[in-house]
C-alpha cells in the first residue's frame, strides 16, 4: 500500500494520522531540539570525541571560558543622551529642507521619558514596602487573615481528632497540648 506524500501545503489529515502543523515557530523549535540532541555538545558521540581528541578538548575548554566570561560581564546602562545622539545622527542624513523642519529639531533634543518607578529612584523599595503594608491592612480589614486563622485552627482540630481515634486520646492530648 502506497503512503501519500507529505507536502507542506497539504492541510488534511492523512490516513496514517499525520497532520501538518501550520505553526512554523513550533516546527523550528522541534527541529532545533532534535538537532541539539543529535549534534549538540550533550550528544554522546560528541562527548566521546571530545574526551578522545586533545584539539577539540582545548577548543571546547576555550569555548567554556568565553561562556563564563560573558556571563560575568555586567550590563552597563545607556547614557541618558543616547536617544538624542541617535536621533541627531539620523536627522543628519535627511535632506536639507527636512533637517530644518520643526519636527526634526525637536527630534534632535528628545530624551527618553523616565517611568514613574525610575522617578522614585532610591525610594522605590520604600514605596514597594508601603504598598505591601497597605495590601496587608486591606486583607485584614476584609477578614482574609481571620478566615485563614480559623481554617488553620479547624485543620489542627481535625488532625487532633484523627490522632485521638488512631492512637488514643491521652497520646493526642500530650502531642497537641505541648
DSSP codes of every residue in 6-67: --TT--S--TTS------HHHHHHHHHHHHHHHHSTTSHHHHHHHHH-HHHHHHHHHHHHHH
Confidence (pLDDT) at 134: 92
SS3 assignment, position 76 = coil
Give the residue from 19, 33, 31, 26 showing the smallest Cα distance to 8. 19
Confidence (pLDDT) at 20: 56
Among all chains, which residue has been given the C-alpha cell 481515634?
165
Cell of 6: 507529505
Confidence (pLDDT) at 47: 84
Residue 40 and residue 59 in contact, taking contact as beta carbons nearer than 8 Å = no
pLDDT tens per residue, the chain (178 residues)? 455 555 454 445 455 555 555 678 788 888 888 887 887 777 888 888 888 989 988 888 888 888 777 777 766 666 767 777 887 888 888 888 888 888 888 877 777 777 777 777 778 788 888 999 999 888 877 777 778 888 888 988 898 898 889 888 888 888 877 6
Phi, psi of 50 (to 5 degrees): -65, -40
d(CA 41, CA 47): 7
* Tally of residues, the chain: 178
- Domain residue spans in the chain? 24-72, 80-113, 123-177
d(CA 74, CA 58): 27
Confidence (pLDDT) at 7: 47
Amino acid at each position: 500500500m502506497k503512503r501519500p506524500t507529505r507536502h507542506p501545503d497539504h492541510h488534511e489529515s492523512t490516513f496514517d494520522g499525520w497532520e501538518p502543523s501550520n505553526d512554523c515557530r513550533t516546527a523550528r523549535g522541534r527541529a532545533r531540539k532534535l538537532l541539539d540532541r543529535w549534534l549538540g555538545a550533550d550528544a554522546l558521540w560528541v562527548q566521546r570525541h571530545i574526551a578522545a581528541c586533545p584539539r577539540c578538548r582545548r577548543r571546547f575548554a576555550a569555548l567554556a571560558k568565553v561562556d563564563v566570561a560573558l556571563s560575568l560581564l555586567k550590563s552597563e546602562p545607556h547614557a541618558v543622551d543616547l536617544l538624542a545622539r541617535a536621533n541627531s545622527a539620523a536627522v543628519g542624513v535627511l535632506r536639507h529642507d527636512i533637517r530644518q523642519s520643526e519636527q526634526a529639531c525637536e527630534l534632535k533634543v528628545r530624551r527618553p521619558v523616565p517611568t514613574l518607578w525610575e522617578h522614585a529612584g532610591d525610594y522605590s523599595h520604600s514605596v514597594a514596602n508601603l504598598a505591601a503594608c497597605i495590601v496587608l491592612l486591606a486583607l485584614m480589614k476584609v477578614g482574609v487573615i481571620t478566615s485563614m486563622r480559623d481554617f488553620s485552627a479547624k485543620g489542627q482540630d481535625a488532625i487532633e481528632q484523627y490522632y485521638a481515634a488512631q492512637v488514643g486520646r491521652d497520646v493526642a492530648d500530650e502531642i497537641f497540648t505541648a
